[in-house]
Protein backbone atom coordinates (compact mmCIF):
# COMPACT_ATOMS: atom_id res chain seq x y z
CA UNK A 1 0.00 0.00 0.00
CA UNK A 2 1.38 3.41 -0.95
CA UNK A 3 1.80 6.45 1.28
CA UNK A 4 -1.24 8.11 -0.28
CA UNK A 5 -3.47 5.12 0.48
CA UNK A 6 -2.15 4.85 4.04
CA UNK A 7 -2.83 8.51 4.66
CA UNK A 8 -6.35 8.30 3.26
CA UNK A 9 -7.08 5.27 5.44
CA UNK A 10 -5.77 7.11 8.49
CA UNK A 11 -7.95 10.12 7.66
CA UNK A 12 -10.99 7.89 7.10
CA UNK A 13 -10.41 6.17 10.45
CA UNK A 14 -10.09 9.47 12.27
CA UNK A 15 -13.20 10.80 10.51
CA UNK A 16 -15.18 7.72 11.62
CA UNK A 17 -13.97 8.11 15.22
CA UNK A 18 -14.92 11.79 15.13
CA UNK A 19 -18.40 10.92 13.86
CA UNK A 20 -18.85 8.60 16.85
CA UNK A 21 -17.51 11.22 19.29
CA UNK A 22 -17.99 14.57 17.53
CA UNK A 23 -17.21 16.82 20.49
CA UNK A 24 -13.91 15.10 21.34
CA UNK A 25 -11.26 17.84 21.05
CA UNK A 26 -8.36 15.39 21.10
CA UNK A 27 -9.81 13.56 18.08
CA UNK A 28 -10.57 16.86 16.35
CA UNK A 29 -6.98 18.01 16.84
CA UNK A 30 -5.58 14.69 15.61
CA UNK A 31 -7.81 14.84 12.51
CA UNK A 32 -6.81 18.47 11.85
CA UNK A 33 -3.10 17.63 12.13
CA UNK A 34 -3.53 14.59 9.87
CA UNK A 35 -5.22 16.78 7.25
CA UNK A 36 -2.23 19.15 7.39
CA UNK A 37 0.04 16.37 6.24
CA UNK A 38 3.64 15.73 7.04
CA UNK A 39 6.03 18.09 5.33
CA UNK A 40 8.83 15.52 5.62
CA UNK A 41 6.93 13.13 3.38
CA UNK A 42 5.80 15.93 1.06
CA UNK A 43 2.19 15.17 1.90
CA UNK A 44 -0.31 17.70 0.64
CA UNK A 45 -2.18 19.92 3.07
CA UNK A 46 -5.87 19.01 2.69
CA UNK A 47 -7.18 21.51 5.22
CA UNK A 48 -10.05 23.78 4.26
CA UNK A 49 -12.92 25.57 5.94
CA UNK A 50 -15.15 22.58 5.38
CA UNK A 51 -12.78 20.49 7.48
CA UNK A 52 -12.62 23.08 10.26
CA UNK A 53 -16.39 22.70 10.52
CA UNK A 54 -16.21 18.91 10.30
CA UNK A 55 -13.52 18.64 12.97
CA UNK A 56 -14.54 21.30 15.48
CA UNK A 57 -18.21 22.30 15.07
CA UNK A 58 -19.67 20.00 17.72
CA UNK A 59 -16.98 20.88 20.26
CA UNK A 60 -17.60 24.57 19.55
CA UNK A 61 -21.28 24.09 20.32
CA UNK A 62 -20.51 22.61 23.73
CA UNK A 63 -17.63 24.52 25.31
CA UNK A 64 -15.45 27.59 25.27
CA UNK A 65 -12.46 25.25 24.75
CA UNK A 66 -14.21 23.95 21.64
CA UNK A 67 -14.80 27.50 20.41
CA UNK A 68 -11.15 28.35 21.06
CA UNK A 69 -9.93 25.29 19.13
CA UNK A 70 -12.37 26.02 16.30
CA UNK A 71 -11.23 29.64 16.04
CA UNK A 72 -7.55 28.68 16.29
CA UNK A 73 -7.93 26.14 13.46
CA UNK A 74 -9.62 28.73 11.24
CA UNK A 75 -6.87 31.27 11.96
CA UNK A 76 -4.22 28.65 11.22
CA UNK A 77 -5.95 27.82 7.95
CA UNK A 78 -6.04 31.49 7.00
CA UNK A 79 -2.38 31.99 7.90
CA UNK A 80 -1.33 29.00 5.78
CA UNK A 81 -3.67 29.30 2.80
CA UNK A 82 -5.40 32.67 2.92
CA UNK A 83 -8.81 30.99 3.19
CA UNK A 84 -11.14 33.10 5.32
CA UNK A 85 -14.21 31.81 7.15
CA UNK A 86 -17.14 31.50 4.76
CA UNK A 87 -20.63 32.36 5.96
CA UNK A 88 -22.06 29.39 4.05
CA UNK A 89 -20.41 27.03 6.56
CA UNK A 90 -21.97 28.69 9.62
CA UNK A 91 -25.44 27.85 10.86
CA UNK A 92 -27.31 29.77 13.54
CA UNK A 93 -26.44 27.43 16.47
CA UNK A 94 -22.74 27.72 15.67
CA UNK A 95 -22.81 31.51 15.38
CA UNK A 96 -24.80 31.78 18.63
CA UNK A 97 -22.30 29.55 20.41
CA UNK A 98 -19.36 31.65 19.19
CA UNK A 99 -21.09 34.81 20.43
CA UNK A 100 -22.18 33.31 23.76
CA UNK A 101 -18.78 31.93 24.70
CA UNK A 102 -16.83 34.96 23.46
CA UNK A 103 -16.86 36.88 26.79
CA UNK A 104 -15.47 33.88 28.73
CA UNK A 105 -12.39 33.46 26.54
CA UNK A 106 -8.77 34.53 26.78
CA UNK A 107 -7.72 37.59 24.75
CA UNK A 108 -6.05 35.69 21.88
CA UNK A 109 -9.02 33.37 21.52
CA UNK A 110 -11.43 36.32 21.62
CA UNK A 111 -9.49 38.01 18.81
CA UNK A 112 -9.79 34.87 16.68
CA UNK A 113 -13.52 34.55 17.37
CA UNK A 114 -14.04 38.26 16.68
CA UNK A 115 -12.18 37.88 13.37
CA UNK A 116 -14.45 34.96 12.38
CA UNK A 117 -17.63 36.82 13.31
CA UNK A 118 -16.47 39.91 11.43
CA UNK A 119 -15.55 37.82 8.36
CA UNK A 120 -18.86 36.01 8.14
CA UNK A 121 -20.82 39.14 9.09
CA UNK A 122 -19.26 41.06 6.20
CA UNK A 123 -20.25 38.28 3.80
CA UNK A 124 -23.82 38.25 5.14
CA UNK A 125 -24.15 42.02 4.67
CA UNK A 126 -22.98 41.73 1.05
CA UNK A 127 -25.68 39.14 0.37
CA UNK A 128 -28.35 41.37 1.93
CA UNK A 129 -27.35 44.44 -0.12
Residue 75 — φ and ψ, nearest 5°? -65, -40
- Give per-residue pLDDT as tens, 7-24: 899 999 999 999 999 999
Q: Is 40 exposed, middle or buried (0-12, 13-18, 19+ CB in 10 A)?
A: exposed
- Give per-residue pLDDT as tens, 24-73: 999 999 999 999 987 666 778 999 999 999 999 999 999 999 999 999 99
Task: Report yes or no on whether pTM surpasses 0.85.
Answer: yes
Q: Rg (Cα) of the chain, in Å, rounded? A: 15
Domain ranges of the chain: 3-128
Treating both helix axes as pointing N-terminal to C-terminal, what angle do 92-101 and 107-128 enclose, rounded to 10 degrees?
140
Amino acid sequence: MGDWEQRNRKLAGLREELQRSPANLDLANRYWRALAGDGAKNEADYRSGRYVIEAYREAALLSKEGVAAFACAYRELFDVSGESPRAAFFDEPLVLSLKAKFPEMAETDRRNVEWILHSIGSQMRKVDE
